[in-house]
Amino acid sequence: MEELLRFEHVSFAYEDGAEQRLALKDCSVSIGAGERVAVLGSNGAGKSTFFLLSNGVLCPKEGTVFFHGEPVGRKKQELNRLRRGVGLVFQDPDVQILGGTVEEEISFGPMNLGLSREEVRRRVDGAVERMHLEDLRQRAPQYLSGGEKKRVSIADALAMEPELLLMDEPAASLDPENCRILEETLDMLGEQGLALAVATHDVDFAWRWAQRILVFQHGCLAADRTPEEIFSDTALLDTCHLAQPMLFRAARAMGIRPLPRTMEDFEQAVSGRHREQGGERI
C-alpha cells in the first residue's frame, strides 16, 4: 500500500490571546492509499485540528507533515500541493459554500488550480454526477436543505480530485435518510479507490465501515489500531469516553466468531446457528 500522508511528531497550538493551549501533541501517524479510517474522540480532542493540519490550512508548530513521502513546508506552493491532494469537507456546509449556484460553488476549487475551462467543466460535471446533484445544478445553495448542502460540500472537495478525502463529522445534523445516503456515498467513494478519513461520534458507524480507527484524546493520538482491537480494549474506551458498538457487544455476548460488521452478517450468523441447533435436536 502506497503511503499518502504522514505526520511525524506534529504539534500545534492555537493562539487565543496570551494563553496557548496545545491542540495537538506529538502526533505521528500515516494514512495509505485507499484506506478507510474512522477518527474518534470527544469534542475538543483534536480531530478537527488534525484535519486542518492534514489539509494544509494550518501549519504545524513542531514536526513535519509528509505528502507522498515529501515534506510539506510553509510555502504557498507546497501547501497547495497538499490542499489539492487532500480534500476536506467541513462539518458545517454553510462555512464552505460560497457560489451563487451549485455549479459555480463546485467550480471554485478547480478554478483556483488554474485549470482550463474545459477541464474545470469536466471536473464539475464529474463531481455533480458522483454526488447526484443533476437536478440542483442551477439552484442557489442558500436555499437547499441540510442534506443537499452536505452533498454539495462533498462535491466541492471531490471536484479537486483528491487522493484522500477528510470529512469532519459528516453525519452531524443529518436525518436518518440522509445519513443512509451519506454512507452509500462513502462506500461508493471507497470502492473507487479514494482514501477516506471520517471524524465521527457514531461508534456503530465506525465499527461497520472502518478498516482502521484513530482515537484522539486531549490533543494526543491515544490509539491507532483495527476496530476489533480498539473496541476490545475496555480501559481505552473508558478513558476516552467511548462506548462499544451495539453489534460488537451483542455478537460477543452470543459468542459469534468472526465478529459481524453489519446487521446482515449478524442475522446470517444467528440464523445459521439456529439451523445447526435445530439439526442437532432432530
Partner 1 sequence: MIVAVLAGFVMFSLCVGTLPTAAAAALCVLVGGILLAFGHHSHGGVLVIDVYARRSRYFAWSPALKTACCVLLLLLCVASASPWVPLVLALILALLTVCGGGIHLHDYLALLSLPAAFLLLSGLALLWDYAPAADGAVAIPFWNGWLVVTAAAQVRARLVMARALGAVSCLYFLSLSTTMPEILSVLRRAHVPSVMTELAVLIYRYLFVLLSVYQSMKDAAASRLGYSGFARSIRTTGSVYGNLLATSFRRSGACFDAMESRCYDGEIRFLEREKPVTLPAALLFGGLLAGTVACMMIGGA
- Beta strands across the sheet bearing 164-168: 86-89, 164-168, 195-199, 36-40, 212-217, 220-225
Q: Quick one: DSSP state of residue 142?
A: G
Q: Which stretch binds partner 1 (CB under 8 A): 2-10, 94-102, 233-241, 262-270?
A: 94-102
Under the binding rule (CB under 8 A), the answer on residue 76 touching partner 1 is yes
CB closer to partner 1 out of 55 and 185: 55
Hey, how many other C-beta atoms are within 10 angstroms of the C-beta on 12? Answer: 21
Under rule CB under 8 A, residue 21 binds partner 1: no
Q: Does 92 bind partner 1 (CB under 8 A)?
A: yes
How many residues contact partner 1, by CB under 8 A?
40
Residue closer to partner 1, measured from CB, 84 or 208 = 84
Decide if residue 94 touches partner 1 (CB under 8 A): yes
Cis peptide before 258 (omega within 30 of 0): yes
96 binding partner 1? (CB under 8 A): yes
User: Is 68:4 a contact under the CB 8 Å cutoff?
Assistant: yes
- Which CB atom, from 34 or from 109, has the smaller least distance to partner 1? 109
Q: What is the 3-state secondary structure (H, E, C) of 75-141?
A: CHHHHHHHHHHEEEECCCHHHHCCCCCHHHHHHHHHHHCCCCHHHHHHHHHHHHHHCCCHHHCCCCH
233 forms part of the interface with partner 1 (CB under 8 A): no
Say whether residue 109 binds partner 1 (CB under 8 A). yes
Among the listed residues 64, 70, 71, 117, the single contact to partner 1 using CB under 8 A = 117
Residue 128 within binding range of partner 1, rule CB under 8 A: no
**Which of helix, strand or coil describes residue 227?**
helix
In the complex, least distance from residue 268 CB atom to partner 1, rounded to whole angstroms: 42
C-alpha distance from residue 278 to each of 20, 140, 255, 273, 282 (Å): 65, 60, 18, 8, 6
User: Does 134 interact with partner 1 (rule: CB under 8 A)?
Assistant: no
CA distance 86 to 168: 13
Give contact residues for partner 1 (rule: CB under 8 A): 52, 55-57, 76, 80, 83-84, 87-88, 90, 92, 94-101, 103-105, 107-113, 117, 120-121, 124, 138, 140, 142, 156-157, 160
